[in-house]
Amino acid sequence: MSDGETAHGGVLQRLALRALHCLEPERAHDLALWSLQHGLFPAVEQVRDERLRTSCCGLRFANPLGMAAGFDKDARVAPALWNMGFGFVEVGTLTPRPQPGNARPRLFRLREDEAIINRFGFNNAGQAAVRGQLQRWHAMIGRGVLGVNVGANKDSADRIADYAAGALALADVADYLAVNISSPNTPGLRDLQGPRALEKLLAAVGRALAEAGREQCPVLVKIAPDIDEAELAEIIEVAISGGATGLIVSNTTIARPETLRSPQRGEAGGLSGRPLFEPSTRLLAQAHVLAKGRLRLIGVGGVHDAKTAWEKIRAGADLVQLLSAFVYHGPALIPRILRGLLLELERAGHASIGEAVGSGAHDWLEK
């Protein structure tokens, strides 16, 4: 790609983002998904380098940067996201039965804070509706890693059974399963982070994986940032004893930092974006130290450039995810972060991403 093509593509991306941001947020999100699904997005510079390759959870990744769950809820656009340069894509959250989620409006841009508040409530088409699509993607040659995020229906009489149903239905079309027990938008869901409930949940998921013949499918538990160190320590020990492969740290927060400036800051729901970076990264560092290498970690929350992605890795993340920053900066953000990670590796004298994981965890705990 020539410099002229790169500059032209950058202009188109900026114009497209401005147009999208003139629309109501959820309508803009739907239009963005439609565009990606139909191949209507500008070419993005591909950054491929052996130093970015990494292994995690028994899987190989072309690079450590992934799209977090919540962007592609109904598993519509993973191939487009891989083509943009993401090393992995996590779809969902998917529930056993379709559900509409909470009433609109339920998505809010906090432009002044480069943040987002959502209270979607696991709106999705249901696992049966997307299974065929996931099956086709899973069979693609040369694709990126595919994660599937599963959850429980809001009106379920047995939420643990819902997670087991998700594992049984989707484990054979997923490279890894993410167990989402930390969304703040389904009342009572975060209670599943308690040790007894989590123990039962992981046991049920394990039985479902055995029934599906996918005992080796990695299971990662997605946790909330709004927990203390004692709660985190309990989650880690239960996750390990329950056979989980890792943690995703973290989901959105119900906290509202005093630094928020946007008039939308009082909306109910989970806050993501830049304000989540410090608390989620500190929690990530705590998890790295407490787990002592027994769990693999995905760091998510506030990643918006190469520096913040690098800090997640230094805090203990084997892999890094983003979402809100993609909304604000578009596809051009992906190669910027990957090029920046290569520069950070050079500065630190590391030959690979794996060498940097956790190298700054104690620095974060001392802040």
- Cβ–Cβ < 8 Å for 107, 73: no
Using a 10 angstrom Cβ sphere, with 0-12 exposed, 13-18 middle and 19 or more buried, the burial of residue 6 is: middle
Return d(Cα 335, Cα 1) in angstroms, integer.
13
- DSSP annotation of 40 reads -
Peptide bond into 250 cis (omega under 30): yes
- DSSP annotation of 96 reads S
Out of 182, 183, 272, 324, pick the active-site residue: 183
Residue 285: its H or E element: helix 277-291
Return d(Cα 253, Cα 267) in angstroms, integer.
12
Return d(Cα 122, Cα 151) in angstroms, integer.
8
Q: How many residues are listed for the chain in this entry? A: 367
Catalytic residue at 272? no
DSSP one-letter string for 213-261: T-TTS-EEEEE-SS--HHHHHHHHHHHHHTT--EEEE---BS---TT--
Under 8 Å CB-to-CB from 360, ≥6 apart: which residues?
285, 311, 314, 315
* 93 backbone dihedrals φ, ψ, rounded to 5°: -80, 135
Q: Which amino acid is located at 307 in the chain?
A: K
Using a 10 angstrom Cβ sphere, with 0-12 exposed, 13-18 middle and 19 or more buried, the burial of residue 240 is: middle
Torsion over CA: 187, 193, 195, 196 (sign): positive
Inter-axis angle of helices 195-211 and 229-241, nearest 10: 30
Tell me which residues are annotated as active site: 183
